[in-house]
């Protein structure tokens, strides 16, 4: 079998991103050796990286593959049909891969699109990252994913939306089992509202205590992890208390919630860059003013909560929540810069949020997430040093090479 040799580069290895010079050999899609002693042999495919810097393939812990040039819930659920949303997801999967994202977690989709795109990529029928999908978001009536006024569907749930409505603990449990039957790897649940849904703002709780407790109980019984959308203080506290694997957004994190997050090893996925974009430049992005105003109102509190979580040692992962107008798929790379500028992370800490920490969260750190011998060759080569110029992660022109499983993208 032909080996691939990457040469003339600095390789950031291990969880601490220690700089290693020399070359890196890939055999059968796996890193086989590294260092100054690596030498090309006859028949090897040698790639000169021209003094570039190589890091693990990027990861996005909060992705919606169906989001493509959308500005609001109407765009997501009504302007686009299920077939169009499916095409968007396939296109976005390849866009993400070309941008250097080799692993993503899809945390909410219409129908079962995320699962089917994962399967298509795994079969080789489509190009994209490794996908860890949830299904439709579990939501109560009037909750996170109940986006439209009651009269629109005459008080009936919309079957083809981003969310599935559950009423009572029994429906919540049954929906989880149904989604597991259909192949999900995660359960996404809307515990609170959001600034993106003016009908259910961030401070409102989207499920009853009994409904959310049933979600967590059934998920634990079935052995499936939970991503809990939680922005209000009460919802964050409940998600932390019940030990959801991740809290998405986490705008209002109080002292009690912070203590529970640390105790129960809950990871925070803030999507800080997207929320910041809505607050700072949402109007120029074409986002409706009612949504922009909601994010302006909560942005400073959100940033403060993420800072406090970081200082307390809560694991933080980078999530894009991207695909909106003027915040395209791949914008998750902005999280690294936001964590440095707003949260106070070091460049290495910030880079871990988009690689090491997500691999650990997804349970795949034995095979991906770092550059180490024996790991899958998911790699991103950059012209600039990402520890000195993290903005280069956002610039497609500064990317030399993307590899997924040792194959050049």
Cα separation, 309 vs 148, whole angstroms: 33
Cα separation, 269 vs 188, whole angstroms: 13
Question: What are the backbone angles phi and psi of residue 309, rounded to the nearest 5°?
Answer: -65, -45
Under 8 Å between Cβ of 188 and 209: no
Residue pLDDT, tens place only, 190-236: 999 998 888 888 899 999 999 999 999 999 999 999 999 999 999 99
Residue pLDDT, tens place only, 103-117: 999 999 999 999 999
CATH 3.20.20.140 given to domain 58-362: yes
Q: Which pLDDT score is estimated for 200?
A: 82
- 178: its two tokens: 């149904």
Q: Looking at domain 4-57+369-408, what is its CATH homologous superfamily?
A: Urease, subunit C, domain 1 (2.30.40.10)
Q: Which pLDDT score is estimated for 183?
A: 98
Give all strands (DSSP E) within 355-395, no chain letters.
379-382
Taking the CB of residue 205, how many other CB atoms lie within 10 A of it? 22
| Alpha carbon separation from 16 to 7, 194, 269, 380 (Å, rounded) | 21, 35, 21, 17
Q: Which pLDDT score is estimated for 398?
A: 96
To 5 degrees, how large is the angle CA 189–CA 310–CA 362? Answer: 45
Q: Which residues is 269 bridged to in the sheet?
A: 248
Q: Which pLDDT score is estimated for 195?
A: 86
Q: Which pLDDT score is estimated for 105?
A: 98
Q: Which pLDDT score is estimated for 268?
A: 98
Where are the chain's structural domains? 4-57+369-408, 58-362
Where the chain has pLDDT below 50, the residues are: none
Q: Which pLDDT score is estimated for 201?
A: 87
Q: Which pLDDT score is estimated for 144?
A: 92
- 92: its two tokens: 């976005």
Q: Which helix (H) or strand (E) holds 74?
A: helix 73-74
Q: Which pLDDT score is estimated for 156?
A: 84
């Amino acid at each position: 079998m032909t080996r691939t040799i990457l040469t003339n580069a600095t390789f950031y290895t291990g969880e601490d991103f220690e700089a290693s010079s020399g070359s890196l050999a890939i055999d059968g899609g796996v890193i086989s050796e590294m260092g100054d002693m690596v030498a090309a042999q006859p028949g090897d495919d040698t790639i000169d990286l021209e003094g570039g810097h190589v890091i693990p393939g990027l990861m996005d812990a909060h992705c919606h593959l169906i989001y493509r040039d959308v500005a609001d819930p109407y765009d997501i659920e009504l302007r686009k049909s299920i077939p169009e949303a499916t095409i968007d997801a396939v296109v976005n999967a390849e866009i993400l891969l070309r941008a250097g994202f080799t692993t993503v977690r899809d945390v909410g989709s219409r129908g079962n699109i995320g699962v089917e795109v994962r399967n298509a990529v795994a079969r080789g029928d489509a190009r994209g990252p490794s996908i860890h999908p949830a299904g439709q978001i579990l939501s109560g009536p009037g909750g996170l994913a109940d986006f439209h006024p009651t009269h629109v569907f005459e008080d009936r749930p919309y079957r083809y939306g981003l969310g599935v409505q559950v009423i009572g603990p029994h429906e919540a449990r049954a929906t989880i089992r149904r989604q597991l039957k259909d192949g999900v790897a995660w359960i996404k649940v809307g515990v609170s509202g959001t600034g993106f849904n003016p009908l259910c703002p961030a401070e409102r709780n989207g499920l009853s205590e009994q409904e959310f407790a049933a979600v967590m109980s059934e998920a634990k019984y079935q052995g499936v992890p939970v991503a809990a959308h939680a922005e209000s203080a009460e919802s964050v506290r409940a998600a932390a208390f019940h030990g959801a694997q991740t809290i998405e957004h986490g705008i209002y994190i109080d002292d009690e919630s912070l203590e529970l997050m640390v105790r129960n090893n809950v990871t925070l996925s803030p999507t800080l860059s997207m929320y910041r974009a809505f607050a700072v430049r949402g109007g120029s992005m074409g986002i409706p003013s009612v949504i922009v105003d909601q994010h302006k109102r909560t942005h400073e509190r959100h940033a403060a909560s993420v800072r406090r979580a970081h200082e307390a040692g809560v694991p933080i992962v980078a999530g894009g929540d991207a695909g909106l107008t003027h915040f395209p798929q791949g914008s998750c790379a902005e999280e690294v810069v936001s964590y440095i500028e707003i949260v106070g992370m070091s460049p290495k800490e910030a880079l871990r949020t988009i690689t090491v920490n997500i691999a650990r969260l997804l349970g795949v750190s034995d095979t991906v997430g770092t550059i180490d011998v024996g790991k899958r060759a998911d790699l991103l080569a950059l012209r600039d040093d990402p520890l000195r110029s993290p903005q280069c992660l956002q610039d497609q022109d500064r990317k030399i090479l993307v590899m997924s499983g040792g194959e050049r993208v």
